[in-house]
Structure 1
Amino acid sequence: MDSITTFIYNFNTLMFLLFALMYAYQIVYMFVAFKAKKDYKSEPGLQNDHLNKYAVIIAARNEELVIGQLIKSIKKQNYPEELIDIFVVADNCTDHTFQAAKQAGAIVRERFNKDQVGKGYALDYMLKTIEKEYSAKNYAGYFVFDADNLIDENYIAGMNQTFNQGYRVVTSYRNSKNFDQNWISSGYALWFLHEAEYLNLPRMFLNTSCAISGTGFLVHADLIKANGGWIHHLLTEDIEFSVSQIIKGEKIGYCRKAIFYDEQPVTFKQSWNQRLRWAKGFYQVFGNYGKKLLIGIFKGKRNSFSCYDMAMIIMPAVLISFLSIIVNGSFLLAGFFGILEGVETIQASSMALLQCVGQIYVILFILGVITTLTEWREIHCTRWKKIAYTITFPLFMLTYIPIAITALFKDVKWKPIAHTVVKSVDDVR
Structure 2
Amino acid sequence: MNDLFFWIVSIFGLFLSIFWTQVIYMSGPEPVKRKELPSISIIVPAWNEQKALPKTIDSLMVLDYPADKINVIIVNHGSTDNTKQVARNLLRKYKERKILLVNIKRKPGQSKASAMNVGLKYANGEFVGCMDADSVADKEALLNLIPFFSGKEVGAVISAIKVTNTKTMWGKLQRLEYLFAQLVRELMSKIDTLHVTPGALSLYRLDLIKRLGGFDENSLTEDYEIAMRLRYHGYTIKMAIKSISYTAVPDTFRGLWKQRVRWFRGFIETAVKYKKMFGNKKFGMMGVFQYPVNILTFITVISGFSIVSYELFSKGYNLAMELFALKAGVFDVLKMPSWFDILMHVNVNILFPMVLSFSIAIYIYHMAHKVSGEKWKYPLILLIYLFLYPILRSFHWITAVYKETFGVSKKW
What is the TM-score of this pair, normalised by structure 2?
0.80
The reply on whether 1:120 has 2:113 as its aligned counterpart is yes
Runs of 5+ consecutive residues of structure 2 not aligned to the other structure:
92-98, 329-333, 338-344
What is residue 97 of structure 1 aligned with on the other side?
A: 83
**Does the aligned pair in 1 maintain the 2:145–2:243 contact within 8 Å?**
yes
* Unaligned residue ranges in structure 1 (runs of 5+): 1-9, 416-429
Measure, in 2, the Cα distance between the counterparts of 1:308 and 1:377. 24
Q: Does 1:174 align with 2:161?
A: yes
> Is 2:131 the partner of 1:145?
yes
Whether the 8 Å contact between 1:368 and 1:390 is mirrored in structure 2 is: no
Deviates more, 1:249-258 or 1:312-321: 312-321
Q: Counterparts in 2 of 1:193-272, with a 5 A limit? A: 193-197=179-183, 199-272=184-257
Distance 1:308 1:74 in 2: 37
- Structure 1: which amino acid aligns with 2:104? R
Deviation at residue 360 of structure 1 after TM alignment: 8.4
CA distance in 2, matches of 1:15, 1:363: 13
- Matching of residue 309 in structure 1 with residue 290 in structure 2: yes
% identical equivalent positions: 21
**Paired residue type of 1:144:** C
Mapping for residues 254-403 of structure 1, pairs under 5 Å: 254-290=239-275, 292-294=276-278, 297=279, 299-306=280-287, 308-313=289-294, 316=298, 317-338=300-321, 367=361, 370-371=364-365, 374-375=368-369, 378=372, 385-394=377-386, 395-403=388-396
AA aligned to 2:138 is D
Answer yes or no: is the 8 Å Cα contact 2:195–2:228 preserved in 1.
Answer: no
Deviation digits for residues 339-367 of structure 1 (CA, Å, limit 9, x no counterpart):
9x999xx99xxx89xx9999989967964
Q: Give distance in 2, aligned partners of 1:16 and 1:387.
A: 29
Which residue is 2:5 aligned to?
Answer: 14
- For residue 55 of structure 1, the aligned residue among 14, 19, 41 is 41
Cα gap change, 1:50 to 1:193, in 2 (>3 Å): farther
The structure-2 alpha-carbon separation of the partners of 1:356 and 1:121, relative to structure 1 and needing over 3 Å to count, comes to: farther
The structural deviation recorded for 1:116 is: 3.9
Q: Which SS does the other structure have where 1:114 is aligned?
A: coil
CA displacement 1:220-266 (0-9 Å, x = unmatched)? 11211211222353112222222222222221111111110100111
Opposite residue 371 of structure 1, the aligned amino acid is: Y
8 Å contact 1:98–1:109 — kept in the other structure? no
Q: Distance in 2 between matches of 1:61 and 1:220?
A: 25
Confirm or deny: 8 A CA contact 2:182 2:368 kept in the other structure: no
Aligned equivalents of 1:233 and 1:361: distance in 2? 43
Do the aligned residues in 2 keep the contact of 1:162 with 1:253 (CA within 8 Å)? yes
Q: TM-score, normalised by structure 1?
A: 0.77
Distance in structure 1 (CA, Å) of the matches to 2:255 and 2:362: 22
Contact 2:32 2:150 in 1 (8 A): no
For residue 334 of structure 1, report the CA deviation from its aligned partner. 4.8
Find the aligned partners of 2:156 and 2:261 in 1 and give their Cα distance.
27
On the 8 A contact 2:17/2:357 being kept in 1, the answer is no
Displacement of 1:333 after TM fit? Answer: 4.0
The 1:235/1:273 distance shift into structure 2, 3 A limit, reads same
Of 215-224 and 361-370, deviating more is: 361-370
Quick check: 1:89–1:126 contact (8 Å CA) kept in 2? yes
Change (3 A) 1:259 1:364: farther
| Residue pair 2:17, 2:361 contacting (<8 A) in 1 also | no
- With over 3 angstroms needed to count, the CA separation of the structure-2 counterparts of 1:55 and 1:322, relative to structure 1, is same
Contact preservation (8 Å) 2:43, 2:130: yes
The equivalent residue for 1:81 is 67
The answer on whether the counterparts of 2:6 and 2:350 sit within 8 Å (CA) in structure 1 is: no
Q: Which amino acid aligns with 1:313?
A: N
Q: SS state of the match for residue 56, structure 1?
A: strand
Q: Distance in 1 between matches of 2:177 and 2:395?
A: 18
Does the 8 A contact of 2:159 with 2:201 survive in 1? yes
Q: CA RMSD for the aligned pairs? A: 3.6
- 3-state SS of 2:293 partner: helix
Q: How far did 1:195 drift? A: 1.4
Mapped to 1, the partners of 2:4 and 2:231 lie a distance apart of: 33
Task: Return the index of the structure with the highest Cα Rg.
Answer: 2
- Alpha-carbon distance in structure 2 between the residues aligned to 1:108 and 1:55: 13
Measured in 2, the distance between the counterparts of 1:307 and 1:239 equals 19
Note the alpha carbon deviations across 1:356-394, whole angstroms, 9 max, x for none.
99998996796467435642685778x6x4433322222
1:78-134 Cα offsets, whole Å, 9 max, x none, are: 110111111111112011212222322331111213224211122112213x1xxx6
| Corresponding pairs, count | 379
Secondary structure at the counterpart of residue 131 of structure 2: strand
SS of the counterpart of 1:271? helix
**For residue 25 of structure 1, what is the amino acid of its counterpart?**
L
Aligned partners of 1:234 and 1:240 also within 8 Å: yes
For 1:64, which of 50, 75, 81 is the aligned residue? 50
Instruction: Name the CA distance, whole Å, in 2 between partners of 1:202 and 1:380.
Output: 18
Deviation at 1:155, TM superposition (A): 0.5
Code of the aligned partner of 1:310: Y
Structure 1 residue identity aligned to 2:301: V
Relative distance call for 1:257 and 1:80 in structure 2 (3 A) is same
In the superposition, relative to structure 1, how do residues 369 and 267 fare at CA in structure 2: closer, same or farther (>3 Å)? farther
Residue 407 (structure 1) aligned with residue 400 (structure 2): yes
Measured in 1, the distance between the counterparts of 2:248 and 2:227 equals 22
